[in-house]
């Protein structure tokens, strides 16, 4: 719907989207922002820093434009790729995924240096400012299975850290509703089309980006100033 829609359509819906800014902001911060407590708690269980210089995480949390735009600005993240995970290679394309004809979720592959940012810290950002983990098969006005909240797990340690963190947040009633984020073994990640890569950076004046993604970047800078870095597209 987003990139396939004409600019005329986007202009027509801009006012409606703008009217929903406050509500969209509520979904990103949920009860944490309402309570004025700042960032959600750090994970009590985190990964053990091992020998490899880089590791990979794959997250799905609504439109991959916004997910990528946040993690591009996290210190210790060395590369991000927008793409698809959860379905087959044959259906890993935007036309089919956006029509919800596949098992894919819009996802982002994150390559990071665990000596600079841990997997648990990435999860904290994911749950804090990237999306609302209590919304089932949607994020705001983006509705459908491809917008689901999911963590695609590469290792048993990622499974351990993610499961423990979700339990920790639920037990603390950090959000007003139970977290619905799926924990799924990563079978494959398929790169998205070229025009989806760095989309928010290439199209900063797109009404969708202004309404839905710019506030997420601001949230990262406000809640995690020690992690924030400006992003320069190569």
Active-site amino acid positions: 63
The upper half-sphere exposure of residue 39, i.e. CA atoms within 13 Å in the direction of its Cβ, equals 21
Contact 208, 141 (CB under 8 A): no
What are the tokens at 215? 């506030």
The DSSP bridge pattern shows strands 149-153 and 138-139 to be unpaired
Angstrom distance (rounded) from CA 186 to CA 184: 6
DSSP letter assigned to residue 193: P
Selection from 67, 40, 21 nearest residue 199 by Cα: 67
């Amino acid at each position: 719907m987003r990139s396939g829609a004409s600019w005329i359509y986007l202009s027509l819906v801009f006012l409606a989207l703008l009217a929903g800014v406050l509500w969209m902001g509520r979904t990103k911060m949920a009860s944490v922002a309402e309570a004025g407590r700042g960032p959600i708690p750090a994970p009590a269980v985190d990964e053990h820093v091992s020998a490899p210089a880089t590791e990979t995480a794959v997250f799905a949390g609504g439109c991959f434009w916004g997910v990528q735009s946040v993690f591009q600005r996290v210190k210790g993240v060395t590369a991000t790729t927008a793409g698809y995970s959860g379905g087959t290679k044959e259906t890993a394309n935007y036309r089919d995924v956006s029509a919800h004809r596949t098992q894919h979720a819009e996802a982002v592959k994150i390559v990071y240096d665990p000596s600079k940012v841990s997997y648990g810290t990435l999860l904290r950002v994911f749950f804090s400012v990237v999306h609302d983990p209590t919304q089932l098969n949607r994020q705001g006005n983006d509705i459908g299975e491809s917008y689901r909240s999911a963590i695609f797990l590469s290792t048993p340690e990622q499974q351990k850290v993610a499961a423990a963190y979700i339990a920790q947040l639920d037990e603390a009633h950090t959000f007003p509703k139970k977290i619905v984020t799926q924990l799924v073994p990563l079978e494959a990640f398929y790169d998205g089309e070229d025009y989806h890569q760095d989309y928010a950076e290439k199209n900063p004046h797109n009404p969708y980006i202004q309404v839905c993604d710019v506030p997420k970047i601001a949230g990262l800078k406000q809640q995690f100033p020690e992690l924030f870095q400006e992003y320069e597209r190569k």
